[in-house]
């Protein structure tokens, strides 16, 4: 496919949310009326699984996940999609997204543009605190797409400096192992919580946030053990 055409795709088209839309705003998403309208539509959409507790919600989301052959899964819970030669959209692995409690922000270290393999360069934070992801390859950050909330699959455009992405790919077998590990962790949490229906352990209102069920410290520890 023509790389020039690929480079013109709106991030909502590139993320397969809409069928067709070419960017006419120089990828300035923060000042794009179309981007704001799309985010408003997503925020107005009814929440899935709202009648279930958080453990059931995460479990169902994990069981619904399928390995996408059109997505490149790489190490450290990240995904990429080729934009043009050695240039990629960067996003979060859907397995990790299942565990993130609704409103969160993704921030990239802005003190520099180039990062070596193993260096921490992304922080994901929310009311619960934050945890970091390390770079799986030597890369250059060209641009940030969306640093707040989870309304877009992609949050940066990066350059693969040493053409290392092919060697950092995760196979379907490895992806399945990661998914099964995540499912097992949720089952462990479920067995450790007294059976009180779909409410919190104190008999109060239904909880929709895993960090409120586990406590912030245990929640961040869980994210680190599964995804760092």
Which range of residues forms the domain containing residue 210? Answer: 46-227
- Among residues 1, 5, 7, which one has the least CA distance to residue 89? 7
* Token couple for 64: 């619904």
- Tens digits of residue pLDDT in 66-92: 999 889 999 999 999 998 888 999 999
- Residues 64 and 24 placed together within one structural domain of the fold: no
Same domain, 75 and 112: yes
Q: How confident is the model at residue 43 (pLDDT cuts 50, 70, 90)?
A: low
**Whether residues 77 and 170 fall in one domain:** yes
pLDDT digits (tens, 9 = 90+) for 83-137: 888 899 999 999 999 998 767 888 888 778 899 999 988 999 988 999 999 999 9
Residue 222: is its pLDDT beyond 90? yes
Same domain, 182 and 194: yes
Work out the angle between the directed axes of helices 216-227 and 172-191 (0-180°, nearest 10): 160
Residue 134 and residue 95 share a domain: yes
The CATH number for 166's domain is: 2.40.50.100
Together in a domain, 117 and 33: no
CA distance 92 to 102: 14
Strand order through the sheet with 87-92: 72-74, 78-84, 87-92, 154-160, 139-144, 114-115
The lowest-confidence range among 30-34, 44-48, 212-216 is: 44-48
Nearest 10 degrees: CA dihedral of 186, 192, 196, 197? 20
Q: Which residue has the tokens 């209102």?
A: 205
């Amino acid at each position: 496919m023509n790389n020039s055409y690929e480079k013109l795709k709106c991030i909502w088209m590139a993320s397969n949310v809409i069928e067709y839309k070419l960017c006419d705003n120089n990828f300035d998403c923060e000042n794009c009326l179309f981007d704001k309208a799309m985010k408003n539509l997503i925020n107005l959409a009814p929440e899935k699984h709202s009648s279930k507790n958080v453990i059931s919600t995460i479990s169902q989301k994990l069981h619904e996940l399928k390995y996408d052959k059109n997505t490149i899964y790489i190490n450290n819970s990240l995904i990429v999609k080729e934009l043009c030669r050695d240039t990629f959209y960067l996003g979060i692995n859907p397995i990790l997204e299942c565990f993130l409690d609704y409103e969160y922000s993704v921030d990239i270290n802005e003190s520099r543009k180039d990062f070596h393999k193993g260096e921490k360069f992304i922080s994901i934070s929310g009311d619960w605190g934050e945890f970091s992801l390390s770079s799986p390859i030597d890369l250059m950050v060209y641009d940030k797409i969306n640093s707040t909330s989870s309304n877009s699959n992609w949050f940066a455009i990066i350059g693969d400096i040493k053409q290392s992405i092919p060697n950092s790919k995760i196979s379907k077998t490895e992806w399945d192992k990661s998914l099964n590990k995540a499912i097992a962790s949720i089952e462990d949490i479920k067995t450790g919580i007294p059976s009180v229906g779909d409410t919190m352990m104190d008999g109060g209102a239904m909880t929709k946030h895993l960090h409120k069920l586990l406590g912030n410290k245990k929640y961040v520890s869980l994210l680190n053990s599964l995804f760092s």
